[in-house]
């Protein structure tokens, strides 16, 4: 109620009795006969000033629309109510408007201003719904208005409005395709959006408007991969399908080395009787592993991030992932999808139907994948026929020498089914098994011959047809069967079967020289009563016998041809005339006569029985086109793998945004624009609370729109924390909870090492959640390997570390980092800090070499004016990295670097840690330099947070006060802030301040005041921090320092640390 008082106005007033004569059942059809007087009633009701009457009228009108009745003549009366206060009336008017606006364009324009007003509403939901309806009105004249509205909404601060904007894009495009270029611009902008809410919708718009602009995806590729798991399910489907296409154009085939190998067994398999052909398959698979194919890390990223979605409850998502794996994954990995697909077979029969079609296609190419699930394709008598036939198809595709006996046994039961279409399909399937698997050919043939004595004619007929095909492959050995079939002509009535038998006897009359003429004799007797196809075959048989055994059959042939000559069917008459001319030599007969034998008794190729699903995989699986085996409108061809990979660096731009790496790009971004100004920058604090969804929320509130470069740095780091989520959070929770989740699982890995403290921390879930969620971005580096490596050698941390929150999990992990640092010889005094790690070089950018750094807060002995930076290398490549060193520092004047000693070599999987000193000259400018290995150079940069530019100073309360009094006026910066509940306690405050800046605490008499002191490293200027707690969670933060810039930034940093 409270959220929209505007809507609840008037509602009370209209609450009186609804007019009973209008009835209560809006759906009852009777009153909606094309009697226009009724519509007059409705108009009257719409014109009344009672909301209840309007509502009643609208309900009836909507009911009319729902039943497909025309209600367009009410348009003027309805459109008047577009600004009605009652929300349900309003909604129903929208429904009506969207349905009829196209037909009544002029009148529809009346409503536009209402929506335009709505677009400016402070409530994001109203803005969104106004845009939604506005864009759904298909009136070409408002295209410019729509365009404007979409553009505006695309940079709205609420992700929900932006999502609606994405939805509106295809609507506008279908209304006026000339807007394409402008719309692509909007799409490009929205593709850069970082919220999960928008991702699915904008990719859908991309697919509808400009699927060919694959270049727009490059920069967003990694983001999309990482966001994927948190996108809503329908968006997931669209994104996965699009990424499949993308990957096909950008990466190399993971199976390329193998495609040659694959070709041969396939050929042998279908073409000849070679039986050993299938044994090649596993060999081929194992070959892959041996071949040195290096997969693009982005390719791997896609495969890795989509895999968990196989567990989705949504069949469409599972299918989308399955097709992605089928088209993109290395052969050895495709297998994982089988289980999920088999699971879908339990779903509704429509889902089964679609899945089985896809499984049928897959099982031709990758048989091994479904073999373990053979029994899941067994057929139940209750399955619908169309499902049965598809399952049969799959079973046939899966048949090989090892399982054929089981399959055949299963087929035997199917043959006795009551569903005759299904039985016929089974017999066909047996035929296919027999052609494909030489070993069982005889068994199958015998089985089919037995079926010839089946009582059901359909079964017999189908068997005859299949046997005919089988015999054609090796006729000589089976004259017995031909004889048997010849006998059947007496009983069997199905024309197709009779025709097949006659053809067989004719074709192989040499194998049954005695029987053939006799069959012809019998058939000539019944000739007149036969079906046409049988008659044709009788003529055929007669002709063949005449050519091979004219002595015995000459007269019979003449007789049959005579009968045919007077047949009612002209085809048959025609055929008879033709054959007579061809085979009976007369003086008039032409040159063809000589070739008669060749014409009739030529070697005929054996028919190939193969699946109708063969080669369907050139359509993208899971698509409509694949299902129909024909190109559907709007189908995007799945491109072939490129022969050479396009430049992978096009996707690189995104690296600094997705990792903690501080590289040149960050600096560039910082200088060019205030971080993320495009999408998130403007969002003021006003709506931040409800505008955030997922990671977006974190960025929304904190940037305040200021654009000074130094401030942007803090914002940037803030964003990083939010952004950090997707890569590690594979779970489906929201942002906060999933952080927690991530860190909890981390903690469990460290638990074993840090013993009892960890257990303590378990006992306080409440506080743990608070602290870990705050800390987790720090504790979740992208390289779990590194973390493990630092963890393992560490002895339990002594409980003595100062100023530490004892029960918190933080301790353990910080302790770990600390003690790890103690392995370095330079450690002098342990100062409490949360060693936040930053990334210097991402594993991907560094081609396997990853580098992280943190400020260890130790003095740097060679030069006290330098800040010590602990750098940690880890080698994730397969080979040794040699000669790691720093070169070509490009520094701002005054800045100096003390390089670390060259690391001669780093074995694969190893890590190494060094310390270097940097004199930042008390500024937050980044130190840029090159990191060289024996083979490559990487441009990197280290940018210090302001809190690291200082070293703690110990002083007494009096000294502090004295110094403070000297630093007033311009040198004093004060800010008021509100402390959060969780941030009230002493140790949290101290901990957070010391985490944000390298300062030490100064003892203090008053218990609502905290003091800290430090000196800048280079110039040694004092920095004094005072935090005064006031009543009701308010506080004053004061920083005194003659370095004003540092002071201001420090205030920012600390208040941010406290606000979290």
Partner 1 sequence: MIHSLFLINSSGDIFLEKHWKSVVSRSVCDYFFEAQERATEAENVPPVIPTPHHYLLNVYRHKIFFVAVIQTEVPPLFVIEFLHRVVDTFQDYFGVCSEVVIKDNVVVVYEVLEEMLDNGFPLATESNILKELIKPPTILRTVVNTITGSTNVGDQLPTGQLSVVPWRRTGVKYTNNEAYFDVIEEIDAIIDKSGSTITAEIQGVIDACVKLTGMPDLTLSFMNPRLLDDVSFHPCVRFKRWESERILSFIPPDGNFRLLSYHVSAQNLVAIPVYVKQNISFRDSSSLGRFEITVGPKQTMGKTVEGVMVTSQMPKGVLNMSLTPSQGMHTFDPVTKLLSWDVGKINPQKLPNLKGTMSLQAGTSKPDENPTINLQFKIQQLAISGLKVNRLDMYGEKYKPFKGIKYMTKAGKFQVRT
Residues between 269 and 308 with contacts to partner 1, criterion CB under 8 A: 308
Q: Contact with partner 1 (CB under 8 A): which of 104, 623, 679, 834?
A: 623
| Residue placing its CB nearer to partner 1 in the complex, 91 or 885 | 91
Q: Which residues touch 290 (CB under 8 Å, ≥6 apart)?
A: none
| Residue placing its CB nearer to partner 1 in the complex, 24 or 37 | 24
**Nearest-approach distance from CB 316 to partner 1, in angstroms:** 4
Number of residues that bind partner 1 (CB under 8 A): 134
**Interface of this chain with partner 1, residues 553 to 592, rule: CB under 8 A:** none
**Nearest-approach distance from CB 2 to partner 1, in angstroms:** 8
**Interface of this chain with partner 1, residues 806 to 825, rule: CB under 8 A:** none
Residue 233 as a binder of partner 1 (CB under 8 A): the answer is yes
**Nearest-approach distance from CB 760 to partner 1, in angstroms:** 18
Query: Diameter of the chain by CA atoms?
Result: 138
| Stretch in the footprint of partner 1 (CB under 8 A) among 231-239, 539-547, 1027-1035, 1050-1058 | 231-239
What whole-number distance in Å separates Cα of residue 91 and Cα of residue 128?
Answer: 13
Is residue 710 classed exposed, middle or buried when 0-12, 13-18 and 19+ CB atoms within 10 A define those classes? middle
**Nearest-approach distance from CB 367 to partner 1, in angstroms:** 19
* Cβ–Cβ < 8 Å for 157, 676: no
| Residue placing its CB nearer to partner 1 in the complex, 731 or 848 | 731
What whole-number distance in Å separates Cα of residue 320 and Cα of residue 256?
Answer: 23
Residue 339 as a binder of partner 1 (CB under 8 A): the answer is yes
Radius of gyration of the chain (CA): 40
Q: Contact with partner 1 (CB under 8 A): which of 105, 249, 257, 314?
A: 314
Is residue 1003 classed exposed, middle or buried when 0-12, 13-18 and 19+ CB atoms within 10 A define those classes? exposed
CA distances 184 to 152, 165, 205, 383, Å, are: 15, 13, 9, 47
| Stretch in the footprint of partner 1 (CB under 8 A) among 76-84, 416-424, 604-612, 672-680 | 416-424
| Residue placing its CB nearer to partner 1 in the complex, 315 or 1013 | 315
Site track 88-107 with partner 1 (rule: CB under 8 A), x = hit: x--xx-xx---x--x-----
Residue 455 as a binder of partner 1 (CB under 8 A): the answer is yes
**Interface of this chain with partner 1, residues 628 to 657, rule: CB under 8 A:** 628, 630, 632-636
Tokens of 651: 């996707």
Residue 16 as a binder of partner 1 (CB under 8 A): the answer is yes
* Cβ–Cβ < 8 Å for 548, 505: no
790-799 CB contacts, 8 Å cutoff, 24+ apart: 790/816, 790/817, 790/820, 790/872, 790/911, 791/749, 791/750, 791/753, 791/816, 792/753, 793/820, 793/823, 794/753, 794/819, 794/820, 795/819, 796/753, 796/754, 796/755, 796/757, 797/754, 797/757, 799/757
Residue 86 as a binder of partner 1 (CB under 8 A): the answer is yes
**Nearest-approach distance from CB 126 to partner 1, in angstroms:** 7
| Residue placing its CB nearer to partner 1 in the complex, 748 or 1019 | 748
What whole-number distance in Å separates Cα of residue 574 and Cα of residue 585?
Answer: 18
Residue 121 as a binder of partner 1 (CB under 8 A): the answer is no
Beta-carbon count within 10 A of 643 CB: 8
Q: What is the DSSP string of 104-163?
A: -HHHHHHHHHHHHHHTT-SSHHHHHHHHHHHHHS--GGGHHHHHHHHHHHHT-SSHHHHH
Residue 734 as a binder of partner 1 (CB under 8 A): the answer is yes
Site track 762-801 with partner 1 (rule: CB under 8 A), x = hit: ---x---x--------------------------------
| Residue placing its CB nearer to partner 1 in the complex, 138 or 151 | 138
| Residue placing its CB nearer to partner 1 in the complex, 414 or 854 | 414
| Residue placing its CB nearer to partner 1 in the complex, 265 or 622 | 622
What whole-number distance in Å separates Cα of residue 147 and Cα of residue 183?
Answer: 8
**Nearest-approach distance from CB 731 to partner 1, in angstroms:** 3
| Residue placing its CB nearer to partner 1 in the complex, 51 or 812 | 51
Q: Contact with partner 1 (CB under 8 A): which of 111, 201, 662, 870?
A: 201
Select from 370, 360, 799 the least CA-distant residue to 622: 360
Select from 492, 576, 566 the least CA-distant residue to 537: 576
Site track 344-363 with partner 1 (rule: CB under 8 A), x = hit: --x-xxxx-xxx--------
**Nearest-approach distance from CB 587 to partner 1, in angstroms:** 55
Residue 237 as a binder of partner 1 (CB under 8 A): the answer is yes
**Interface of this chain with partner 1, residues 659 to 718, rule: CB under 8 A:** 690-694, 697
| Residue placing its CB nearer to partner 1 in the complex, 159 or 917 | 159
**Nearest-approach distance from CB 368 to partner 1, in angstroms:** 17
Q: Contact with partner 1 (CB under 8 A): which of 23, 40, 67, 618?
A: 67
Q: Contact with partner 1 (CB under 8 A): which of 229, 494, 778, 983?
A: 229
**Interface of this chain with partner 1, residues 364 to 393, rule: CB under 8 A:** 375-376, 378, 380-382, 384-386
Residue 402 as a binder of partner 1 (CB under 8 A): the answer is no
What whole-number distance in Å separates Cα of residue 796 and Cα of residue 755?
Answer: 7
The continuous run of DSSP H or E covering 838 comes out as strand 837-841
What whole-number distance in Å separates Cα of residue 661 and Cα of residue 842?
Answer: 6
**Backbone phi, psi, residue 845, to 5°:** -65, -35
Q: What per-residue string of b and e applies to 91-114 under the rule 16 or more CB within 10 Å gives b?
A: ebbbbbbbbbbeebeebbbebbeb
Tokens of 126: 């109203």
Residue 917 as a binder of partner 1 (CB under 8 A): the answer is no
């Amino acid at each position: 109620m409270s959220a929209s008082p505007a809507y609840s106005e008037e509602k009370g007033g209209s609450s009186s009795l609804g007019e009973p004569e209008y009835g209560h059942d809006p759906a009852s059809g009777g009153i909606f006969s094309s009697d226009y007087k009724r519509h007059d009633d409705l108009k009257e009701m719409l014109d009344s000033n009672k909301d209840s009457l309007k509502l009643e009228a609208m309900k009836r009108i909507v009911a009319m629309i729902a039943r497909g009745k025309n209600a367009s003549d009410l348009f003027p009366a309805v459109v008047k109510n577009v600004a009605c206060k009652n929300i349900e009336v309003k909604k129903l008017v929208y429904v009506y408007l969207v349905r009829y606006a196209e037909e009544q364009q002029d009148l529809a324009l009346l409503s536009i201003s209402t929506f335009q007003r709505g677009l400016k509403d402070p409530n994001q939901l109203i803005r969104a719904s106004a845009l939604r309806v506005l864009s759904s009105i298909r009136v070409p004249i408002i295209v410019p208005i729509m365009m404007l509205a979409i553009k505006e909404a695309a940079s709205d601060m609420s992700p929900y409005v932006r999502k609606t904007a994405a939805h509106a894009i295809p609507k506008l495009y279908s209304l006026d395709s000339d807007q394409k270029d402008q719309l692509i611009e909007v799409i490009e902008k929205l593709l850069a959006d970082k919220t999960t809410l928008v991702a699915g919708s904008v990719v859908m718009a991309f697919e509808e408007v400009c699927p060919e602009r694959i270049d727009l995806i490059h920069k967003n590729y990694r983001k999309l991969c990482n966001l994927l798991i948190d996108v809503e399910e329908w968006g997931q489907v669209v994104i996965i399908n699009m990424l499949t296409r993308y990957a096909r154009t950008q990466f190399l085939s993971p199976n390329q080395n193998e495609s040659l190998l694959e070709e041969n067994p396939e050929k042998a398999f279908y073409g000849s009787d070679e039986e050993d052909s299938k044994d090649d398959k596993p060999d081929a698979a194992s070959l892959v592993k041996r071949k040195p194919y290096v997969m693009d890390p982005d390719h791997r990223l896609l495969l890795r991030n989509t895999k968990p979605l196989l567990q989705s409850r949504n069949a469409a998502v599972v299918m989308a992932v399955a097709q992605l794996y089928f088209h993109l994954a290395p052969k050895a990995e495709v297998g994982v999808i089988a289980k999920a697909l088999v699971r879908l077979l339990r779903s509704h029969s429509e889902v089964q139907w679609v899945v089985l079609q896809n499984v049928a296609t897959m099982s031709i190419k990758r048989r091994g994948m479904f073999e373990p699930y053979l029994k899941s394709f067994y057929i139940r008598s209750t399955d619908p026929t169309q499902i049965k036939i598809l399952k049969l198809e799959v079973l046939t595709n899966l048949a090989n020498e090892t399982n054929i006996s089981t399959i055949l046994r299963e087929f035997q039961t199917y043959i006795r089914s009551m569903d005759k279409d299904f039985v016929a399909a089974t017999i066909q399937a047996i035929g296919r098994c027999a052609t494909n698997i030489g070993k069982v050919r005889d068994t199958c043939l015998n089985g089919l011959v037995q079926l010839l004595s089946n009582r059901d004619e359909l079964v017999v007929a189908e068997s005859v047809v299949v046997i005919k095909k089988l015999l054609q492959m090796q006729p000589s050995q089976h004259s017995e069967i031909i004889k048997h079939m010849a006998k059947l002509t007496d009983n069997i009535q199905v024309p197709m079967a009779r025709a097949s038998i006659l053809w067989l006897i004719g074709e192989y009359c040499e194998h049954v020289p005695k029987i053939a003429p006799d069959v012809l004799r019998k058939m000539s007797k019944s000739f007149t009563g036969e079906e046409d196809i049988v008659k044709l075959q009788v003529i055929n048989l007669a002709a063949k016998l005449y050519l091979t055994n004219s002595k015995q059959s000459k007269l019979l042939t003449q007789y049959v041809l005579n009968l045919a000559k007077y047949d009612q069917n002209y085809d048959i008459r025609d055929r008879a005339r033709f054959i007579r001319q061809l085979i009976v030599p007369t003086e008039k007969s032409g040159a063809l006569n000589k070739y008669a034998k060749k014409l009739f008794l030529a070697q005929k190729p054996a028919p190939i029985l193969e699946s109708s699903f063969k080669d369907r995989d050139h359509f993208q699986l899971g698509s409509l086109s694949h299902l129909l085996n024909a190109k559907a409108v709007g189908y995007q061809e799945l491109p072939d793998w490129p022969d050479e990979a396009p430049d992978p660096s096009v996707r690189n731009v995104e690296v600094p945004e997705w990792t903690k790496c501080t590289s040149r790009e960050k600096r560039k971004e910082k200088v060019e624009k205030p971080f993320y100004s495009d999408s998130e920058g403007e969002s003021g604090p006003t709506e931040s609370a409800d505008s955030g969804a997922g990671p977006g929320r974190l960025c929304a509130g904190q940037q305040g729109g200021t654009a000074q470069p130094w401030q942007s740095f803090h914002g940037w780091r803030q964003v990083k924390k939010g952004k950090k989520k997707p890569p590690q959070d594979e779970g489906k929770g929201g942002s906060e909870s999933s952080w927690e989740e991530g860190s909890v699982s981390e903690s469990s890995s460290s638990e074993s090492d840090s013993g009892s403290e960890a257990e303590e921390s378990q006992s306080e879930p409440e506080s743990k959640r608070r602290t870990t969620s705050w800390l987790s971005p720090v504790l979740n580096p992208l390289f779990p390997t590194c973390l493990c490596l630092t963890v393992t050698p560490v002895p339990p941390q002594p409980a003595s570390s100062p100023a530490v929150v004892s029960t918190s999990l933080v301790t353990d992990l910080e302790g770990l980092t600390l003690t790890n640092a103690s392995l370095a010889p330079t450690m002098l005094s342990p100062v409490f800090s949360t060693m936040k790690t930053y990334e210097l070089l991402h594993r991907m950018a560094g081609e396997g070499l990853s580098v992280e750094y943190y400020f260890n807060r130790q003095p740097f002995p060679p030069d006290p004016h330098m800040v010590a930076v602990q750098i940690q290398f880890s080698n994730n490549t397969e080979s040794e990295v040699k000669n790691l060193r720093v070169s070509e520092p490009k520094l701002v004047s005054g800045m100096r670097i003390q390089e670390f000693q060259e690391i001669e070599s780093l074995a694969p999987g190893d890590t190494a840690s060094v310390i270097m000193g940097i004199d930042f000259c008390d500024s937050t400018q980044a130190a840029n330099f090159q990191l060289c290995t024996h083979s490559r150079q990487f441009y990197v940069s280290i940018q210090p947070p302001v809190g690291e530019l200082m070293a703690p100073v110990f002083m007494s309360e009096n000294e502090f006060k004295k110094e403070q009094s000297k630093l007033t006026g311009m040198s004093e910066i004060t800010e008021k802030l509100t402390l959060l509940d969780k941030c009230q306690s002493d140790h949290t405050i101290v901990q957070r301040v010391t985490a944000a800046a390298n300062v030490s605490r100064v003892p203090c008499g008053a218990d609502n005041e905290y003091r800290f002191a430090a000196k800048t490293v280079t110039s040694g200027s004092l920095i004094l921090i005072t935090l005064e707690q006031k009543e009701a969670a308010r506080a004053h933060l004061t920083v005194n320092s003659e370095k004003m810039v540092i002071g201001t930034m420090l205030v920012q940093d600390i208040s941010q640390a406290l606000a979290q």
